[in-house]
Amino acid sequence: MARISDRKESNASISYGKESNGRLTKGIPYAEAAERRRKLNKPTPFEDQLLDATNEFLNVLAYPIGLGVLAASLPAIWTYRLVSDALSQPADMTDKVVLITGASSGLGEDMAYEYARLGARLALVARRKEKLKDVAANAWALGAHDVLVVDADLGNEDGCKDALSRTLGHYRRLDTLVNNAGLFPSFYFESADSTAGFDSIMDTNFWSYVYMTYHALPHLRASQGNIYVTASVSSIAPVPMNSFYNASKSAVASFYHTLRIELGHEVPITIFSPGLAKSEMTDGKFVQPDGSVADYEEGIRLRRQNGFGLVPLMPTSAIAKAAVDATRRRKPDVIHPVWYGLIAYYRLLAPELLDPLLRTVLLGDDNAPTKIIQDALGGGIGEPNEGQLRAGGMRAPGRRDSVEAPQGMTSMLTNGTPGRKVARDPVRLGDNLDHIVYLGIKHLTRRLWFF
């Protein structure tokens, strides 16, 4: 390679050194550099100055005015919600066709049972066909007027189109689309050896919702139906080790908020954001960077790292009741339980408090008070034992998960509960405490905030 001095001598019109004013210009003629500086350093146009001044003015006035309008409006809004809930009747679901993704376990399974009790006709979609058959049998027993089992991989558009096509082929209509399927990856971002599995997470957690909605919209318009979406409080609470899950749920919430504005009242959309549920996910069935599902020893360790010992979990059956009720009433946005919504205010108004708090609570060293509390609680009220984890399909230590998704990422549906068996492990006090704490919070917040 030629030295800079040699290149300078061979092309005197190009500057590789300093001009007389001390400015360094590399690779362009002096005259051109001077002309570019003249254009870049010209005075700001008056129109741009006016726009900047307007925004500075709004920075001062927008918050006082906006918060004042909000304070004046909230009593009327809360009164409307209270009266509306008291006088309105939830939609009659008798013989209505409800397609539920992620229906083989957890929240999707319990939502299927709620709709079955209402006499709906169900299309249960998931990848695990044998578990779907068991859920379908339970739904029949609870009063469903018809149940269709649709085994499909929703990690790609063809699988989504196939699930919808089979549903329409059987029922000839669609009244409610329940988007609930997903993966729950739990690992530090930098711990991933490659980015190979990243697409698969978003394919299931976000794109499956988009594909199902895109292809279902014409049929929902025809039936004057509606859409339900399982978002998550993780979209407003940046919990460590869950970066992709948090991102996918944020994408879901943002997409459906935008779509709801575009559609207006043509196809109502309910965005339901539950807190931590007692499920396969919170029992420790986490997707790892290499695409495998954690075994039950890894799961318990990761469960404690995720801070599940610090927040009371909720039974999926209780969440399902609230989700179905919100969908039948066509509520636009629901955070359940309501107290999680407080995180949104901290995130918006005081990130300087929220970020260090989450880091201290969830990433503290082993001697931190929060970690000691988690250990004292056994990693969380109602931590599962080995038998329950085995029943839920978690692999033994040292063995790889037996079911891998085509893209290499283990296709595990979130919000799953350990396999439902006739003979269960003895119920522990912690399991009841979950429910007691949840019911107390629910009734107090409903009385206070009218949600």
Between CA 159 and CA 154 the distance in angstroms is 5
Fill in the DSSP letter of residue 24.
B
Do 285 and 422 lie in one domain? The reply is: yes
Do 100 and 11 lie in one domain? The reply is: no
> What residues contact 424, with CB distance under 8 A and at least 6 apart?
none
Do 265 and 340 lie in one domain? The reply is: yes
- Total domains present in the chain: 2
Do 317 and 425 lie in one domain? The reply is: yes
Between CA 277 and CA 282 the distance in angstroms is 7
Residue 198: pLDDT over 90: no
Sign of the four-CA dihedral 307, 311, 317, 319: negative
Do 109 and 8 lie in one domain? The reply is: no
- Which is more confidently placed, 383 or 373? 373
CATH number at residue 398: 3.40.50.720
| Among the ranges given (91-95, 339-343, 423-427), the one the predictor scored with the smallest mean pLDDT | 423-427
* % of the chain residues with pLDDT over 70: 66
Do 11 and 144 lie in one domain? The reply is: no
Tokens 């000839």, residue? 172
Residue 391: pLDDT over 60: no
Q: What is the pLDDT at residue 367? A: 61
Q: Which of 113, 171, 245, 256 is catalytic?
A: 245
Do 278 and 358 lie in one domain? The reply is: yes
Domain annotation covers residue 401:
yes
Nearest to 426 by CA among 394, 382, 393: 382
Do 344 and 439 lie in one domain? The reply is: yes
- What mean pLDDT value characterizes the chain? 77
Between CA 392 and CA 109 the distance in angstroms is 14
Do 307 and 413 lie in one domain? The reply is: yes
- Which is more confidently placed, 250 or 309? 250
Fill in the DSSP letter of residue 407.
T
Do 153 and 274 lie in one domain? The reply is: yes
* % of the chain residues with pLDDT over 90: 44
Residue 272, domain extent: 94-449
Report the pLDDT averaged over residues 140-160: 96
Q: What is the pLDDT at residue 223? A: 97
Do 241 and 332 lie in one domain? The reply is: yes
Domain annotation covers residue 51:
no
Going through 328-388 in order, the beta strands assigned E by DSSP cover 333-336
Q: What is the pLDDT at residue 292? A: 57
Fill in the DSSP letter of residue 409.
S
Residue 12: pLDDT over 90: no
Tokens of 219: 């049929």
Between CA 158 and CA 340 the distance in angstroms is 36
Going through 337-445 in order, the beta strands assigned E by DSSP cover none
The residue type found at 156 is N
Decide if 205 contacts 235 (C-beta within 8 A).
Answer: no
Residue 408: pLDDT over 60: no
Domain annotation covers residue 353:
yes
Q: How many CB atoms lie within 10 A of CB 351?
A: 11
| Among the ranges given (25-34, 105-114, 116-125), the one the predictor scored with the smallest mean pLDDT | 25-34
Q: Model's pTM, two decimal places?
A: 0.74
| Among the ranges given (164-178, 184-198, 415-429), the one the predictor scored with the smallest mean pLDDT | 415-429
30 is catalytic: no
Greatest mean pLDDT among 11-15, 70-74, 197-201, 399-403: 70-74
Report the pLDDT averaged over residues 397-424: 36
Domain annotation covers residue 145:
yes
Residue 350: pLDDT over 70: yes
Do 22 and 108 lie in one domain? The reply is: no
Domain annotation covers residue 81:
no
Domain annotation covers residue 197:
yes
Question: Cis omega before residue 384 (within 30°)?
Answer: no
Q: What is the pLDDT at residue 60? A: 92
- Which is more confidently placed, 298 or 319? 319
Tokens of 243: 């970066």
Q: What is the pLDDT at residue 298? A: 64
Length of the chain: 451
Q: What is the pLDDT at residue 118? A: 97
Q: What is the pLDDT at residue 140? A: 97
Residue 178: pLDDT over 90: yes
> What residues contact 30, with CB distance under 8 A and at least 6 apart?
15, 19
Tokens 């001390």, residue? 22
Decide if 99 contacts 152 (C-beta within 8 A).
Answer: no
Q: What is the pLDDT at residue 188? A: 80
Q: What is the pLDDT at residue 372? A: 64
Report the pLDDT averaged over residues 288-293: 56
Domain annotation covers residue 80:
no
Q: What is the pLDDT at residue 376? A: 62
Report the pLDDT averaged over residues 121-135: 95
Domain annotation covers residue 84:
no
Tokens of 95: 């013989």
Residue 446: pLDDT over 60: no
Q: What is the pLDDT at residue 400? A: 46
Instruction: Give me the helices (H) in 88-203, please.
Output: 106-117, 129-142, 157-171, 198-202
